[in-house]
Amino acid sequence: MINNITKGVVCMRLLVLSDSHGRKNLLLEAVELHPEADAVIFLGDGERDIDFVKELHPEIKLYAVCGNCDFNSDLPPFILEKFGGAIVYAAHGHNESVKYSLSGMMIKARSCNASIALYGHTHVPDTKYEDEIWYVNPGSVSVGKYAIVDITDKGIMPILCDLYRY
């Protein structure tokens, strides 16, 4: 697969979703819109919605963390995984106080030697590149926002997406 933005060969494509808050239909729509995704990462606040998607699509490689609205959850507070050669730190963001500053997320990402840090919680889509780390907030899928992160032979390319623009 060729990524037209970087002209690089995509080694791995991550579909990043967060904050579905009961809008499982939109979560499912985003997942079904991107069957080419190698992995789906859900950043919390919709654990039951993720269970619904898993039931319909057990073939999907799904990673999920607990959000501040996922009460009595067995999901972990963060994940640290290697995807296509890139170390990814993913958390909902409430424990890192991302509503106030990215400094907590930055400290954790650097301490893990991550090249990608994924977070939700604020419902505001955003990307930032600092000190060789991409920080990506997909926004809230409950209003149609999500992200794709392509890990290519030329680097990392985050893409903010909107279900309502398709």
State pLDDT tens for residues 46-55.
Answer: 999 999 999 9
The domains located in the chain, with CATH, are 2-165 (3.60.21.10)
pTM of the model: 0.93
pLDDT on residue 4? 47
Angle at 130 between CA 129 and CA 133, to 5 degrees: 75
- What average pLDDT does range 113-124 have in this prediction? 98
State yes or no: pLDDT of 14 exceeds 90: yes
Query: How far is Cα 141 from Cα 23, in angstroms, rounded to an integer?
Result: 8
Beta bridge partners of 146: 161
pLDDT band at 134 (very low <50, low <70, confident <90, very high): very high
